[in-house]
A and B are shown apart, each in its own frame.
Chain A
């Protein structure tokens, strides 16, 4: 340790002397030179190995260039009209899935979040709730959707359950973190009045986490809409199914229209969610 400090000091002096001679170099991002070069060489070796293992069929790429041009052209003139009914139906399904799954997911996430907060829950319950959170967060929505489609059949119900499940992991984790660093004095004050567990939760914990909970729910609503546009690919309903169909029919103008609608709705959601979050804080 002492030796390292000394070398650092000499390095610093060398830098100073060089600077006085008019040669100044900025400090490196990684301080330890061995680690710095090791990281660099490792990165280069990995890059070579990785690029060598990527197989690209250039003939196919060249063939696709024409399609890329078609696609960009389609974005210039999206076609909302010819598949209007399909787009509206898909969008309606997506929006309903988004709303119901967020409501159900948040309601279910509250008990899980309470259980996953180390400062208010006993150890066994803590482990169970953390396990639920880990499983729900690790797997992509679309993998969960595959399983639920097998169980519940094609359609928006499978999508709704998928999104609700994913919402539980997301909300419960953030809620638990929020509860873990709340102001403990308020809880003590309420407990000192002889309040029951329910009363403590209701009057000491809930008021402290509520603003963030609302903000996060709105944010999750936003995420759920984006995800609802995807899980249709595996048959869980929503606009994703419409998009997938239009792409496989090579109707790029319809796909462009759907993508533009998705972007517009996401923008709208993001804009309103930032407003709601500002209002709650």
Chain B
């Protein structure tokens, strides 16, 4: 019990300490700014498309964006295009019921969260090993409690960043997009933030697991960036080279070790795939973390 309490104390302190660190604050602000700008530019694009459509149809152009988007969203040609993009009928069925602005935000959050994770968290463990500040902790608590506590603290940090970015994106949409200021949309944006947060956990585990391997803060960041890039590249290669027969038919099984293979489960509405996807991604995150920890626990500090 006391180990759990110690882990909790470390997690809370890590969160507050991360918030105080200049680097995390700068990255957090940049991420918020990117979320706001992404929403702003997406709405501008939407408005321009709508205006062009209205001109072509010789209809009066609307002052606000979003007037015809919802109708467009439900049209057959658009859905065919989405099917091509998602390559998953179940996902397509689930997302066509969503407000377009939700999907713009969701795309942003899922695409950029791994980068946010690497920039915020990849050096947290290496930095403390390098500076020797871990030496003040390890005679008070176990290394496992410390590593897990730091990981959970960073999960809080990323969660906060995503919730704030979701809220900011909602505020931009409410100001700029017709009929989008509903509480339902806000609730859905928060939900997408949470889904992106779950998706960030394996990347966080990967970045922090690697951070156990070095005493250099900059080396840990570079390793994090390389690892996450490798994840993306491997996912693409596995998709590209998979065939129905021969050894290549087993490639998707290897792909299960990568977060990308489970991403689409988080885009579903039904609780079963959502829970399964979340459980798998969280487990992957802890597995990556423990792999780094296994090396670290035998190391001198």
Task: Decide if A and B are genuine partners.
Answer: no
Residues of B at the A interface (CB closer than 8 Å) are: none
Residues of A at the B interface (CB closer than 8 Å) are: none
